[in-house]
Structure formats: C-alpha cells, structure tokens
Amino acid sequence: MSTLPGGLTLAIPSKGRLEELTRKSFSTARMNIARPGGARSYVGSIKNQPQVTVRFYPAAEIARELILGGVDIGVTGSDLIHEASENGEENVLFVRGLGFGEANVVVAIPDSWIDVQQMTDLADVASDFRSRHGRWLRVATKYVNLTRRHFAKYGIAEYRIVESAGATESAPAAGSADLIVDITSTGSTLAANQLRVLEDGLIMKSEANLIVSRTADWTPLRKAQLEALLSIMGGVPPGISTLL
C-alpha cells in the first residue's frame, strides 16, 4: 500500500450493531459506505471518495491494526486500544467519540462479599488469599492488560488472571474465578449474576471512537487526504495531521 502515492485505508467493524451505527454516522456526513459483497465481503468503498479503501474487521482486530499501522483510520472501542497493547494509546490518535458503543470496564465482585467495597479491601483479600486457599485469587477477564494496570495501581500483585473469551459474568458461579473485570453498559447483566461493581472499580469509560494510526506511513499527500476526509466527517478541528 505504501507503494501507492496516496490513498487511505479505513477500518470499519465487520458485524453487528457496531457496524450498523458506524455506517450510520458516516452516512450522516453524506458518506455512504458500500459493501458490495454483503456481510461476507471484507472490502468496501465510499461513494465520491475513491481514495478511501474500506476494510471490514472485527473490532479487536481494528485496534491491533491501528496500533501496528496496518490501517490508517478506524472505528473501534477505546477500551480495545488500551487492551490491545500496553502502550497502545501512544500509537494512535483519538480523533473523536462517535456517541455510541458506550460501556464501562469495571471490577465486579460477588454481591455476597459484604466486606469488600473498594479496591483497598480487595488488596487485603488478595494478600492472604493464597495462605487461606492454597491458590491465588483469580480474576476472569478478557481485558488482561487493563486489569494488570489497574490492579498494579492499587498495589495488588497477589492474583492470577483467568482469560475468558465470553460469558465472563458467569465465571464466579461456575467456580472458574473469584471475581471479574468486564465491560458493562447498563449493569443489568452484572446484577442478574449478583455481581457488584466496586466503588472505585471503574477502570475506564469506553465508547466507539474515530481513531487515526500514528504508526502508519504518513506522506504529505496522505496527510492532506486525511484532513479532507476528517473535515467532511465534521466535529474535528483542522490540523489533526500535524500531530502525526
């Protein structure tokens, strides 16, 4: 792609509500994203913007590609950028939130742990958990990096992460973990599983973001094309490309 004199790659979530809302926010700016082959196709285009190639990826992959510079612009959750790599946020530029996909990454414990309200309580529990139970306190999550960072901030070292791909909220009842770090939008899934968010258990607020890769190969022409595209999108002050 770098052999081309110009052209931009835009990565869009490939399925579900995130795809739908992303396409909607582009069409609001009069940029209709075409996906000629339907849901099974992974390349698309924007009418009147021939310099832009649209690629459809799973949201987590968009985060990785933005960090590595495989795509130039993308739409994905800010949580996924922070999770994809320890220094993920240094490699991208958050242009603006898109007003959907809002959710919080939180630390949640069984509601029956009436002695635990804050991270400091959790630190106390973690510190002697192993001598009581012969194993580390286990945290189920798919947010390995975010969990490690948040727990380190509170001085909690005595725990193990159990990686969980889905249905994390059921891990405590299933016995595969003692507590969880998960994403929640309304909190209803947590409540249904009798899990409670710690008072200071908010790790981050996330929403779908328009994100530019810092690690992509930004030639002057491509920077100009980026500025043009962002000005059509609106809500973005000009000059973003000077930060790249």
> Do 72 and 214 meet the contact criterion of CB atoms below 8 Å apart?
no
Min dist. Cβ of residue 158 to other proteins (A): 6
Stretch that binds other proteins, among 31-39, 43-51, 144-152, 222-230 (CB under 8 A): 144-152
For 130, other C-beta atoms within 10 Å of its C-beta total 14
Min dist. Cβ of residue 199 to other proteins (A): 13
Which lies closer to other proteins via its Cβ, residue 92 or residue 161? 161
Which lies closer to other proteins via its Cβ, residue 1 or residue 157? 157
Stretch that binds other proteins, among 10-18, 32-40, 74-82, 127-135 (CB under 8 A): 127-135
Please name every residue paired with 59 in a beta bridge, in sequence order, or none if there are none: none
Residues in the chain: 244
Which ranges of the chain does DSSP label H, i.e. alpha helix?
16-28, 59-68, 78-84, 119-133, 144-153, 171-174, 188-192, 220-233
Residue (of 183, 143, 148) closest to 18 by Cα position? 183
Stretch that binds other proteins, among 32-40, 49-57, 151-159, 230-238 (CB under 8 A): 151-159
Site residues for other proteins, window 197-216 (CB under 8 A)? Answer: none
d(CA 47, CA 55) in angstroms, rounded, equals 14
Site residues for other proteins, window 171-200 (CB under 8 A)? Answer: 172-173, 175, 178, 193-195
Does residue 111 interact with other proteins by CB under 8 A?
yes
Stretch that binds other proteins, among 70-78, 148-156, 180-188, 222-230 (CB under 8 A): 148-156
Does residue 165 interact with other proteins by CB under 8 A?
no
DSSP summary character for residue 22: H
Tokens of 34: 């075409």
Which lies closer to other proteins via its Cβ, residue 3 or residue 165? 165
3-state secondary structure 29-82: CCCCEECCCHHHCCEEEECCCCCEEEEEECHHHHHHHHHHCCCCEEEEEHHHHH
Min dist. Cβ of residue 113 to other proteins (A): 6
DSSP summary character for residue 145: H
Residue from 123, 228, 240, 244 in contact with other proteins (CB under 8 A) = 123
Q: Under the rule (CB under 8 A), what is the footprint of other proteins?
A: 85-87, 110-115, 120-121, 123-125, 127-129, 132-133, 136, 145, 147-148, 151-155, 157-161, 172-173, 175, 178, 193-195
